[in-house]
Amino acid sequence: MRPEILNPLFAEVTALKGVGPSLAKPLERLGLARIVDVAFHLPSGWIDRIPRDELMAHDAGRTIAITLTPREIRTSSSPRAPTRVQASDALGNYVSLVFFGRSSGMVRKLFTVGELVCVSGKVEQYGQELQIIHPEIMEEGDGTREREAIYPLSEGLTSRRLGAMVAQAIERAPDLPEWIEPSLLAQRDWPAWKAALARIHADPSDAVARARVAYDEIFANQLALALVRQDTRRRRGRALKGDGLLRDRLNLPYALTGAQGRSVREIEGDLAQDAPMLRLLQGDVGSGKTLVAAMALLVAVEAGAQGALLAPTEILARQHYETLRETLAGLPINVAVLTGRDKGRVREGVLMGLADGSIDILIGTHAIFQEAVTYRDLGLVVVDEQHRFGVAERLALSAKGKTTPHLLAMTATPIPRTLVLAQHGEMDQSRLDEMPPGREPVETRVISEERLDEVVNALGRHLAEGKQAYWVCPLVEESEKSDLAAAEARAATLAARFGDRVGLVHGRMRGPEKDAVMARFAAGETGVLVATTVIEVGVNVPNATLIVIEHADRFGLAQLHQLRGRVGRGGGQSRCLLMRGAALSETSRARLALMRETNDGFRIAEEDLRLRGGGELLGTRQSGEAAFRLATPELLGELLPVAFDDARLLIDRDGGLAGARGQAARVALYLFERDAGVALLRSG
């Protein structure tokens, strides 16, 4: 149960004075459904306005607040012409207040000739006169506010109206017990939580207050992850010590890389412990994660246990199945596959094999953890890309084994070191930071969109050689419909030239339909796969050696690198063509230059975080990732190591959640909705 002290903050936003259903809609578009959401909606900037009694030419370029007397309202017969209000200050100096797109009737409601009005806006020199375009009408007392917060808005809201709601939200916020370690609080000279939040909204430039609330959020996140780790270590596991007989019989055409060997040893050491393993394996496409996973599964089988591999989609599950069957060929091991599409006798046969132990390794989608699926002795679970187990899934998984199974999670998306702690801090880490010998890096070129015809001609030559290609459509806007329209248009254009050799796949397709298109491409029945970016197209097609990405300048580095990873999976040279727009920002130019320069996903991930600055981390919000509302990437990098140490200190020295500081920290977990920690509180 959420602590009662937080109830005022978690009330619906309509509990605020003046917020009815009509105002709740634009708030909902901003994700502000509760009072706490409003309180945490931090300003994106501010306006510094200078109070003036008279108009002065040297104020051009500055934002001022001044009391004026409207003298004349000038309109035009042209609908495109602005409406102008000629107004004067107390000394008779004139300024033109200019309104575009507003009818004269609307302007006359705002101004009455001869009546004093206080306005605020940026003064500009226009010819021989001063003007203010779209000035704000200041309410009584507003003119004295020299600094005013500016908020991210949606249609139907103004910064001032949102600021008034924020003031109400903070007034409702309770004074909470202090969860920060006292010496750290003194060292940083941080105010109390509520005071810091109020200070940011009053003065968005207050760096000390911003650091305090960012730290609170980061600390709650780190504490939740530390609790997950502690809970895992407490659970009864089972040591899996393989004798090496199966691994020695593997007939590999190449030796393990140094990174693969190191990772296998780390995993082997974890499996030999009674405490369940909780480890994240990171590596770029082609770095050999699947082989490392196979070695881990063999350790489990050697120790007399079963292993399971969870894949995100059916087509990837079946791909893993074929890869493992080929890798483990000749070994006395029974590998099976189970997905939601398997029915009848096939499904029954797999379920019986799992229950009686005749199946050693099972590969599949989430269907492998349904209630009806029973294992004789599940010892290890490997979770493939983009599936990070939360507490609920982990607890469900625990019921599948006689003891809590060991867990190895894999990701092909390199994560910056800072974000590894933020998103996977409860896990130990292994990194595959080198490629197997002989694997050629993908050649990357940047091409202007004006050369589209040349690219299509090059695609024709590529197809004539019997090769295949991906064509990724431009990211039009944050809308699946717009992306789909762009994909359909490009597919139609390419189909006009290449006929039925063109396939189309997008996020609005049903799973079976999408899988069918992907299967045709994997089988070589289509030569070009046109795709939007809202789907995972990670199926292994070694014959696909070209990828074209339209409007590549609109994507983040991590996303471009992930897309580029769709090629380069077979022998020979693969190419990535990044088509750019005519006008490039400095950031976009830097991103494309780095993509051309390197194939190192770990370097790209770090640079992506740096270039994005305050933007959304990595450009995507994968399932299960921690979302930070108050902590910018810069503050995350600075404060996360401190919060990591502080969370461990609370658990190891200060009595955990049972101690005095722990009780306050418990409130922080609920305040920042760190589900993993909260779930453990509920289950414990």
CATH at 321: 3.40.50.300
Q: Provide the token pair at 90.
A: 């107390």
Q: Which of 485 and 73 is assigned the larger pLDDT?
A: 73
pLDDT band at 626 (very low <50, low <70, confident <90, very high): very low
pLDDT value of position 214:
96
Q: Which of 187 and 426 is assigned the larger pLDDT?
A: 187
CA distance linking residue 93 with residue 86, whole number of Å = 10
The arithmetic mean of pLDDT across residues 103-128, rounded, is: 91
Q: Would you say residue 62 lies in a domain?
A: yes
Q: Which of 306, 320, 337, 313 is nearest to 400 (CA)?
A: 306
pLDDT value of position 302:
97
Residues 361, 447 within the same domain: no
7: domain CATH number is 1.10.150
The answer to whether 500 and 374 are in contact (CB under 8 A) is: no
The arithmetic mean of pLDDT across residues 327-343, rounded, is: 91
pLDDT band at 681 (very low <50, low <70, confident <90, very high): low
Share of the chain above pLDDT 70, in %: 90
Residues 399, 271 within the same domain: yes
How many folded domains does the chain comprise?
Answer: 4
Share of the chain above pLDDT 90, in %: 55
> For residue range 439-449, what is the model confidence (pLDDT) as tens digits?
788 999 999 99
Residues 468, 551 within the same domain: yes
Q: Provide the token pair at 364.
A: 């599949």
Q: Which of 630 and 440 is assigned the larger pLDDT?
A: 630
State whether residue 6 is helix, strand or coil. Answer: helix
pLDDT value of position 622:
33
CA distance linking residue 601 with residue 621, whole number of Å = 18
**The domain boundary residue, chosen from 598, 618, 644:** 598
Q: Give the mean pLDDT of the chain.
A: 87
In the predicted model, is pLDDT for residue 656 greater than 60? yes
Residues 126, 7 within the same domain: no
Range with top average pLDDT, 407-411, 555-559, 652-656? 407-411
Residues 533, 500 within the same domain: yes
CA distance linking residue 579 with residue 452, whole number of Å = 8
pLDDT value of position 92:
95
Residues 27, 165 within the same domain: yes
Q: Would you say residue 630 lies in a domain?
A: no
Give me the residues paired with residue 72 across strands: 86
Which residues, 6 or more positions from 306, have their beta carbon under 8 angstroms from its beta carbon? Answer: 300, 354, 357, 359, 360, 361, 362, 375, 376, 377, 378, 379, 380
Q: Would you say residue 17 lies in a domain?
A: yes
467-479 burial code (b ≥16 CB/10 A, e <16) = bbbbbbbbbbeee
> For residue range 271-282, what is the model confidence (pLDDT) as tens digits?
999 999 989 999
The answer to whether 358 and 334 are in contact (CB under 8 A) is: yes
pLDDT value of position 342:
81
Residues 254, 281 within the same domain: yes
Q: Which of 573, 598, 565 is nearest to 286 (CA)?
A: 565
Range of the domain at 351: 245-432
Q: Would you say residue 218 lies in a domain?
A: no
pLDDT band at 144 (very low <50, low <70, confident <90, very high): low
**The domain boundary residue, chosen from 432, 452, 472:** 432
Residues 13, 56 within the same domain: no
Residues 520, 556 within the same domain: yes
pLDDT band at 32 (very low <50, low <70, confident <90, very high): very high
Max CA separation in the chain (angstroms): 98
Angle between helix axes 633-652 and 417-424 (nearest 10 degrees) is 50
pLDDT band at 287 (very low <50, low <70, confident <90, very high): confident
Q: E-assigned strands of 551-663?
A: 575-580
Q: Would you say residue 654 lies in a domain?
A: no
User: What are the backbone dihedrals phi and psi of residue 504, each rounded to the nearest 5 degrees, phi first?
Assistant: -130, 130
**The domain boundary residue, chosen from 556, 583, 598:** 598
pLDDT value of position 300:
97
Q: Would you say residue 465 lies in a domain?
A: yes
86: domain CATH number is 2.40.50.140
In the predicted model, is pLDDT for residue 566 greater than 70? yes
pLDDT value of position 678:
62
Give me the residues paired with residue 382 across strands: 309, 408
Q: Would you say residue 642 lies in a domain?
A: no
Residues 447, 381 within the same domain: no
In the predicted model, is pLDDT for residue 452 greater than 90? yes
535 C-beta neighbours (distance < 10 Å), count? 15
pLDDT band at 49 (very low <50, low <70, confident <90, very high): confident
Residue whose pair of structure tokens reads 């390199």 in the numeric block: 414
344-377 burial code (b ≥16 CB/10 A, e <16) = eeebeebbebbeeeebbbbbbbebbbeeebebeb
CA distance linking residue 612 with residue 3, whole number of Å = 36
Q: Which of 150, 147, 148, 95 is nearest to 117 (CA)?
A: 95
One-letter amino acid at 169 equals A
- Asked whether the CA dihedral 626, 627, 630, 632 is positive or negative, the reply is positive
pLDDT value of position 563:
87
Residues 471, 560 within the same domain: yes
Q: Which of 318, 587, 275 is nearest to 428 (CA)?
A: 275
Q: Would you say residue 123 lies in a domain?
A: yes
The arithmetic mean of pLDDT across residues 238-251, rounded, is: 93
pLDDT band at 674 (very low <50, low <70, confident <90, very high): confident
CA distance linking residue 9 with residue 147, whole number of Å = 26
pLDDT band at 620 (very low <50, low <70, confident <90, very high): very low
> For residue range 376-422, what is the model confidence (pLDDT) as tens digits?
999 999 988 654 455 556 556 667 888 889 999 898 777 777 777 77
State whether residue 544 is helix, strand or coil. Answer: strand
The arithmetic mean of pLDDT across residues 288-302, rounded, is: 95
Q: Which of 455 and 585 is assigned the larger pLDDT?
A: 455
Residues 505, 375 within the same domain: no
